[in-house]
Chain A
Amino acid sequence: MTINAKDVYYRDLNERVREEIKKGAADVVLDNVNGQRYIADGLRGKATITINGVPGNDLAAFMDGPTLIVNGNAQDGVANTMNDGKIIINGNAGDVLGYGMRGGKLYIKGDVGYRVGIHMKGFKSQVPVIIAGGTAGDFFGEYMAGGILVLLGIGKKKNEPIAGGYLGTGMHGGVMYVRGEVDPRDCGAEVGILEPNEEEMAELSAYLKEYCKDTGHDYGRIMKEKFIKIYPKSSRPYGRLYAY
């Protein structure tokens, strides 16, 4: 099922996608996507949507199950409050990715912007995973409460920091893996930095293998560099703030 999105208003495009999936389409291809917002928002089920072009903001907000493959860059707000599903972005992506994300996977081949993975949270079997291939802006994993956030720094220039400031500020759950080094001065006071242990590396490599298969990165090359693990020092950073 292919839909030509050229010059189609976002509301009509999204309505059409929802209709096709309701009718039972398992694979939907959107060609010539150029900035249409809210694609796959709140969508449930197991369909796969291939997006050729650049989808607009809030791609897959509140999404619960489907798989999206973006052949191009993505803009801001991808996977906002997503509950389940998988998104592969074969390009760069903008700001505020995976805000409040509770489950599913968001794999970005290239760089990501500011405020990525803020307030990600896990619940029972739901473990949200974001892997970004390149570098990230400020506030990476701020307020993080659960899940796994991975930053690979592929293509990073020498002396360029892999992430911006305020990394993990207010973090109180979940874990981040960064390939390379971060300056502790760029990190929130609530996080600690350690070397991942074997068990953690095994879990991480399983995700990375899948990520490389999806995005075409070279797994062997990625694993040549060392990872650090960034973790919250306390699950209750503000537990002793109040006078009762």
Chain B
Amino acid sequence: MNRTMPPEFRVKIDQEKCRKCKRCLMSCSFGVYSFADRVIPDSNKCVACNRCVVMCPEDAITIHESPNVYKDHPNWPLSIRKNVWKQAETGGVLLTGMGNDRPYPIIFDHLVVDACQVTNPSIDPLREPMELRTFLGRKPDKLEMEMVGGKPRLKEKLPQNIKLEIPVIFAPMSFGAISLNAHKSLAMAAKESGTVYGTGEGGLHEELYDYGPWTIVQCASGRFGVHSEYLNAGVAVEIKIGQGAKPGIGGHLPGEKIGAEISRTRMIPVGTDALSPAPHHDIYSIEDLRQLIYAIKEATGYKPVSVKIACVHNVAAIATGIVRAGADIVYLDGFKGGTGAAPTQIRDHVGIPIELALAAVDDRLRQEGIRNQASIVAAGGIRSSADAVKAIALGADACAIGTAALLAMGCSLCQKCYTGNCAWGICTQKPELTRRLDPEWGAMRLNNLLRAWGHEIKEFLGALGVNSVESLRGSRERLRGVGLDAQTLDILGVKPAGR
């Protein structure tokens, strides 16, 4: 055993309450528990996923922060010391899961939303119609009409758009990163709630083709499971260039996770590593990107193409290139976005926040007069309907949620996704664990979440005195900053509170 790694948590069993039913042994996927006359926990292995706590019928288990104290040092918090110890032990790149957990300022929490008082009436969304419907995709520069048989008709065919009943979509997470049951939950919920989910780069399982009208299929650098039928299965195709949790980094799905179902869906042999190169090797320029966008359009009868990028320093210039390359949707993933596995140092230190990136991109596209040519989806740190409302006011057409969707399906944010041991059956491929997630239950929880957010967004809109989410889009005048410096406010295009 590695004696230099102190346990993060301490598991305590109330032996008086414990009836020795051994449910905790069965629920723990990290091997914490053993049994010899009584339940014996090995705190070293605990990740605080809380599965055992939830499953214990006697409420006999509590998980605490480890009381072991190391001498404090502000430059060397225990988390950083542990990283050094781990690397000294293994010589490996540190891995982690979920989004950036460093204490960077959260700009959303420094933005407040306006409301109507006295002079212009607010609207009660419970009694009056309130429109959340959103269309993602290219909008024409102008509409030309002609009279056909005495009736006005559009002269040109409108570009295909994705119709959403709520401006919140499920972020792309691959079958491989998450389980098939998690994918099914997302697909069923997307259908029920009138939104879409993304396949991520893992192909589309044959059982999910029926959910095509609520699916965005992805084409990433590894091209796993990408073929003509797949590209045509959804309502749009997403080219994944980058991910907020690991900008500029490819992906390695280890061979251990490539079982029969994943193999069939990704179309690679069982047990081989699925390596997604860092770049698409057919995209080295905006012109190359345009080529892939149009190859996909030609192969799909001109379905909308979304291009997903991680938010990095020059995001505005990159986004305008993407729009000029012909993308119908620009998907911006901020540096707080989640991941099934990423090198810790990259996740925690590369990329910029979604709030700033979104404002910069929306500004640039407006300045260049091409904002109508593509929709913007904001992702990477959307935690609530309030975040979504603020993102929309900053310029997003819709938001994408990944972590929030996982939480809805039971995730407790233990950040051990990369181990493949997810006790909640979400981020794992082990059959004994994946069966823990019932897709019907998962879908119900996701629908509940979207229903609640939908009501809340309507409340925000009502308070703002508008009856459509369209009226809030890009309306930064309805936001104010609290405790933000002048330059940040300038980038956000938001006034300080009180002005």
B160 contacts partner chain A, Cβ-Cβ < 8 Å: no
* Contact partner, B269, options A44, A119, A146, A170, Cβ 8 Å: A146
- Contact at A64–B277, with CB atoms within 8 Å? no
The size of the chain A interface, using a CB distance under 8 A, is: 48
Query: Which residues 87-102 of B have a CB within 8 angstroms of A?
Result: 87, 89-95
* Separation of A62 and B227 alpha carbons in the complex (Å): 6
Query: Which residues 209-244 of A have a CB within 8 angstroms of B?
Result: 235-244
* Contact partner, B93, options A41, A143, A242, Cβ 8 Å: A242
> A237: which B residues are within 8 A, CB to CB?
273
User: Contacts A123-B267, A235-B273 known; A38 to B298 CB distance under 8 Å?
Assistant: yes
Determine the residue in chain A with the shortest Cβ distance to B95: A242
Chain A nearest CB, measured from B161 CB (Å):
20
- Contact at B299–A100, with CB atoms within 8 Å? no
- Contact at B291–A243, with CB atoms within 8 Å? no
A61 contacts partner chain B, Cβ-Cβ < 8 Å: yes
B223 contacts partner chain A, Cβ-Cβ < 8 Å: yes
* Contact partner, A80, options B272, B275, B295, B300, Cβ 8 Å: B295
Chain B nearest CB, measured from A219 CB (Å):
32
> A54: which B residues are within 8 A, CB to CB?
none
B66 contacts partner chain A, Cβ-Cβ < 8 Å: no
Chain B interface residue count: which class?
Answer: 35 or more
User: Contacts A42-B298, A243-B93 known; A77 to B281 CB distance under 8 Å?
Assistant: no
User: Contacts A62-B295, A64-B228, A64-B229 known; A236 to B92 CB distance under 8 Å?
Assistant: no
- Contact at A63–B281, with CB atoms within 8 Å? no
> B89: which A residues are within 8 A, CB to CB?
243
> B90: which A residues are within 8 A, CB to CB?
243-244
* Separation of A173 and B281 alpha carbons in the complex (Å): 18
Determine the residue in chain B with the shortest Cβ distance to A64: B228
A99 contacts partner chain B, Cβ-Cβ < 8 Å: yes
A135 contacts partner chain B, Cβ-Cβ < 8 Å: no
B276-290 vs A, CB cutoff 8 Å, 1 = contact: the mask equals 010001100000000
- Contact at A123–B294, with CB atoms within 8 Å? no
Chain B nearest CB, measured from A147 CB (Å):
12
Query: Which residues 67-98 of B have a CB within 8 angstroms of A?
Result: 86-87, 89-95
* Separation of A63 and B229 alpha carbons in the complex (Å): 10
A115 contacts partner chain B, Cβ-Cβ < 8 Å: yes
- Contact at B223–A81, with CB atoms within 8 Å? yes
* Separation of A161 and B93 alpha carbons in the complex (Å): 37
- Contact at A173–B272, with CB atoms within 8 Å? yes
Query: Which residues 219-270 of B have a CB within 8 angstroms of A?
Result: 219, 221-223, 226-229, 231-232, 252, 254-255, 267-269
A28-47 vs B, CB cutoff 8 Å, 1 = contact: the mask equals 00000000011001111000
> A11: which B residues are within 8 A, CB to CB?
298
A86 contacts partner chain B, Cβ-Cβ < 8 Å: no
- Contact at A170–B231, with CB atoms within 8 Å? no
> B268: which A residues are within 8 A, CB to CB?
121, 123, 145-146
B15 contacts partner chain A, Cβ-Cβ < 8 Å: no
Determine the residue in chain A with the shortest Cβ distance to B269: A123
* Separation of A126 and B254 alpha carbons in the complex (Å): 22
> A80: which B residues are within 8 A, CB to CB?
282, 292, 295
A106 contacts partner chain B, Cβ-Cβ < 8 Å: no
- Contact at B295–A58, with CB atoms within 8 Å? yes
The dominant DSSP class at the B interface is: mixed
- Contact at A42–B254, with CB atoms within 8 Å? no
B197 contacts partner chain A, Cβ-Cβ < 8 Å: no
> A170: which B residues are within 8 A, CB to CB?
275, 277
Chain A nearest CB, measured from B279 CB (Å):
10
- Contact at B291–A58, with CB atoms within 8 Å? yes
> B298: which A residues are within 8 A, CB to CB?
11, 14, 38, 41-42, 61
> A100: which B residues are within 8 A, CB to CB?
222-223, 226
> B282: which A residues are within 8 A, CB to CB?
77, 80, 96, 99, 115
> A67: which B residues are within 8 A, CB to CB?
none
- Contact at B86–A243, with CB atoms within 8 Å? yes
> B232: which A residues are within 8 A, CB to CB?
42
- Contact at A102–B291, with CB atoms within 8 Å? no
User: Contacts A239-B273, A242-B93 known; A119 to B228 CB distance under 8 Å?
Assistant: no
User: Contacts A63-B228, A81-B223, A99-B281 known; A240 to B291 CB distance under 8 Å?
Assistant: no
Query: Which residues 58-117 of A have a CB within 8 angstroms of B?
Result: 58, 61-64, 77, 80-81, 83, 96, 99-100, 102, 115
Chain B nearest CB, measured from A50 CB (Å):
20
- Contact at B299–A61, with CB atoms within 8 Å? yes
- Contact at B294–A37, with CB atoms within 8 Å? yes
A118 contacts partner chain B, Cβ-Cβ < 8 Å: yes
Determine the residue in chain B with the shortest Cβ distance to A63: B228
- Contact at A239–B228, with CB atoms within 8 Å? no
* Contact partner, A115, options B93, B227, B229, B281, Cβ 8 Å: B281
* Separation of A118 and B221 alpha carbons in the complex (Å): 11
> A179: which B residues are within 8 A, CB to CB?
none
Chain A nearest CB, measured from B157 CB (Å):
13
- Contact at A42–B231, with CB atoms within 8 Å? yes
- Contact at B281–A119, with CB atoms within 8 Å? yes
Chain B nearest CB, measured from A187 CB (Å):
18
> A102: which B residues are within 8 A, CB to CB?
223, 227, 267
> A61: which B residues are within 8 A, CB to CB?
295, 298-299
Determine the residue in chain B with the shortest Cβ distance to A82: B227
A154-176 vs B, CB cutoff 8 Å, 1 = contact: the mask equals 00000000000000001011000
B419 contacts partner chain A, Cβ-Cβ < 8 Å: yes
Determine the residue in chain A with the shortest Cβ distance to B83: A243
* Separation of A62 and B275 alpha carbons in the complex (Å): 20
* Separation of A145 and B93 alpha carbons in the complex (Å): 23
User: Contacts A37-B294, A244-B92 known; A96 to B275 CB distance under 8 Å?
Assistant: no
- Contact at B281–A142, with CB atoms within 8 Å? yes
Additional pairs, 11, CB under 8 Å, beyond known A173-B272, A243-B94, A244-B419? A37-B294, A44-B228, A81-B227, A83-B227, A121-B268, A123-B267, A123-B268, A236-B273, A239-B254, A242-B92, A244-B90
A-B contact pairs, 21 of them (CB 8 A): A41-B298, A42-B228, A61-B298, A62-B231, A64-B228, A77-B295, A80-B292, A99-B281, A115-B281, A119-B281, A121-B223, A123-B267, A123-B268, A142-B281, A145-B272, A236-B255, A236-B272, A239-B254, A243-B91, A243-B92, A244-B419
Interface residues of A, Cβ cutoff 8 Å to B: 11, 14, 37-38, 41-44, 57-58, 61-64, 77, 80-81, 83, 96, 99-100, 102, 115, 118-119, 121-124, 126, 139, 142-143, 145-146, 170, 172-173, 235-244
Interface residues of B, Cβ cutoff 8 Å to A: 86-87, 89-95, 219, 221-223, 226-229, 231-232, 252, 254-255, 267-269, 271-273, 275, 277, 281-282, 291-292, 294-296, 298-300, 418-419
Q: Which 5 A-B pairs have the closest CB atoms?
A: A42-B299, A243-B92, A100-B223, A243-B90, A38-B298
